[in-house]
Amino acid sequence: MIERVSKAALFALYQFTIVLGIVLMPIAVTLQRTVGRAPPLHRIIERVERTYEATA
């Protein structure tokens, strides 16, 4: 039971990070154009994805 809840919570976190990446994309593009550096959103998404796939 706890394992199922843990997997569901991790899946929800994974989905949330994808949505967060999509929502913050305009900000990242603007930062890339003005400052020359974008926030490392891809690292966060990849890390959560690896963790989710390891538990699945």
Give per-residue pLDDT as tens, 19-56. 998 998 898 888 888 988 877 878 888 898 898 888 87
Residue with tokens 């400052």: 35
Predicted local confidence at residue 23, as pLDDT: 92
The pLDDT, as a whole number, for residue 19 is 93
Write down the pLDDT at residue 31. Answer: 85
Residues 6+ away with beta carbon under 8 Å from 48: 10, 13, 14, 17
- What is the tally of helices (H) and strands (E) in the chain? 3, 0
Domain boundaries along the sequence of the chain:
2-55
